[in-house]
Amino acid sequence: MKRFDNKVAMITGAGQGVGKAVTNIFAKDGASLCIVDINLEGVKRLENDLTKSGVKALAVCADVSNLTDVNEAVKTAISCFGKIDILVNNASVSGTKRILDITEQDWDYVFNVNVKGAFFMLQAVVRKMIESGNGGCVVNISSVAGRPGGRQFLLHYAASKAAVISMTQSAALALAKNNIRVNSIAPGTIDTPMWQKVASDLAACEGCEVEEILEERPRAVPLGRLARPDDIASAVAYLCSDDAAYITGQTLNVCGGLVMS
């Protein structure tokens, strides 16, 4: 028997990077999948690949910062699968700017996706979990940027990820009586296309070449490399499994030792 046989997992930001890696590990471990992304083409392609391999999968196009989209995505998942056992709140955007250059639009964009989107997706899904009476599991993707310590060129992004950690703790406390566990993962730098864009923006802020950023970052990690999407996906799957049945309200650093706490 596989870890997630008879489980339905809903994963946001599933079209690429960490979300795609999470989707694939859940698929291998027997879950049925509702994969959500603002990019319909990406998740449709993934849905097709999963279906060909015998996995029950449903692609849904949704902007998590839009409450109507969130509610429709959850409604669609329930209509298709009848339940949601696991939510992985992975959809996220970054922001890299000097503190005096951050605009209201920059702030709202990051917080609308990373905080508002994560909260209202959690709220909509746990309503269904509570109605079912079978409990459930939520994993929010935060970042080590949300941990203590300054991030001078990532202020609004770091603040949003700190909010995700706080939200995780409060939700875990509120939902424990319903047998719903809520945890989060705090990755370090992950080798994805998003990192390439962040590195370019950091170089502009610091007035250096992007190659310097790309070469320096792995050297700063005690384990000597950037995270791979599969590193994060494996940690997510663990927190959603029965092996983590007594873990809730925690944030697990998956960062190669970049942050130790």
Any idea which residues carry the catalytic annotation?
Answer: 157
Phi-psi region of 257 (alpha: psi -120 to 50; beta: other; left: phi over 0): left
Backbone angles phi and psi of 258, in degrees to 5: -60, -40
- CA proximity to 80, closest of 142, 15, 32: 32
For residue 186, the number of C-alpha atoms closer than 13 Å in the C-beta half-sphere is 25
Query: CA Rg, the chain, in Å?
Result: 18
Contact 210, 164 (CB under 8 A): no
- DSSP H helical segments within 97-256, as ranges? 104-111, 118-132, 155-175, 193-206, 210-220, 229-240
Question: Any idea of the CA torsion for 28, 183, 250, 174, to the nearest 10 degrees?
Answer: -150
Q: Is the dihedral of CA 240, 243, 245, 247 positive or negative?
A: negative
The Cα 169–Cα 161 span in angstroms is 13
| Token pair in block for residue 99 | 């503190």
